[in-house]
Copies of this chain bind each other. A is one copy, B any other.
């Protein structure tokens, strides 16, 4: 596994982190406790007491402090040990690892790399979490698979035509249409027009539409998608180019792919459908379809992982549809190479399939 460490990972929904109820999560194989003190402030510590590695997620919040409830070591909000029961003086240097943590939008983000390099500006510019113009729904899903397979799935939507043939019912045009793929410094953008197809339940019309579909996939695995419906003929009149995106979009998705361990991944999603375009019945129908589709992804990706595990030396064959996934993987590997010490420390000894 190659991971970028100097990046913000989504560890939880912010609302899940209830005051004075420490929560255990894993990110990049590391046990982390996320806790919110009575004042509402959030922190993320390594979930191992320095004393005997007991989990601090079984600990007790005491004001702005967190106490390990095995033998009582008390930590302040910066991870310093401020009390050891039965010991008169506490050496100054005793501290647990603290991960920079930010509550932003509706997610709790943790920074897995060098603390000095933590930069809020690197939280991907995903938008729409609280936009009341949209009907929203959210969810999450765990995969017994490496995160890369989940990212690959989202970066190559040609699979929608096959894996989701019975749920999303997009037809094979999806798989045959080659999207445009643009590499950026920490993301890849992918867009396509789907011409003269169904409108996905939009209000006020039974007509076919041209649909413009755009998604940007950011390091380490954060995704914004937007979808915009147009009258049939628009794609042709634009010659397949991008339309004006300053206008309001019809629906969007924000998704985060977090490696819990080398073989397990948590997937968070929030979807919005414009009230101007869709009503609640259309939102509910879409929500049901999306959840069925994600179950189809889960079955396939977990089976793919099992096949990889039984043939770790087997390599993938590249097809044109892989382009987005390949570019994203190259970005990941390029950034990771610039983080030599962290990556050498956390590189798993497990084997994985490469690309031929």
Contact = CB atoms under 8 A, between A and B. Distances in A.
Interface in A298-339: 299-300, 303-304, 306-308, 310-311, 314, 316-317, 319-321
A165 interface: yes
Interface stretch (A83-91, A119-127, A286-294): A83-91
- Integer count of this chain's copies in the complex: 3
Chief secondary structure at chain A's binding surface: loop
A67 B163 CA distance: 11
A303 B55 contact: yes
Contacts of A180: none
Contact of A54 (B48, B67, B177, B304): B304
Interface string A331-356: 00000000000000000000001000
A29 B300 CA distance: 20
Contact of A51 (B29, B175, B319): B319
Nearest to A304: B54
A153 to B, nearest CB: 9
A270 interface: no
Nearest to A316: B52
B84 A319 contact: yes
Contacts of A156: 71
Contacts of A58: 299-300, 303
A94 interface: yes
Contact of A175 (B54, B86, B165): B86
B353 A53 contact: yes
Q: Considering residues A71, A94, A314, which has the most beta carbons from chain B within 10 angstroms of its beta carbon? A: A71
A73 B335 CA distance: 32
Contacts of A161: 72, 85
Contacts of A20: none
A152 interface: yes
Given A53-B353, A304-B54, A71 B321 contact: yes
A23 B176 CA distance: 28
5 smallest A-B Cβ distances: which pairs? Answer: A85-B175, A53-B307, A72-B162, A55-B303, A69-B162
24 contacts: A29-B310, A31-B310, A47-B307, A50-B317, A52-B316, A52-B317, A53-B314, A54-B300, A54-B307, A55-B303, A60-B162, A67-B162, A68-B162, A69-B165, A71-B319, A71-B321, A72-B159, A72-B162, A73-B319, A85-B176, A86-B158, A86-B176, A86-B320, A87-B320
Given A52-B316, A85-B176, 15 more contacts: A29-B310, A52-B304, A53-B304, A54-B303, A55-B304, A58-B299, A69-B300, A70-B163, A70-B300, A70-B304, A71-B175, A72-B158, A86-B175, A86-B319, A87-B321
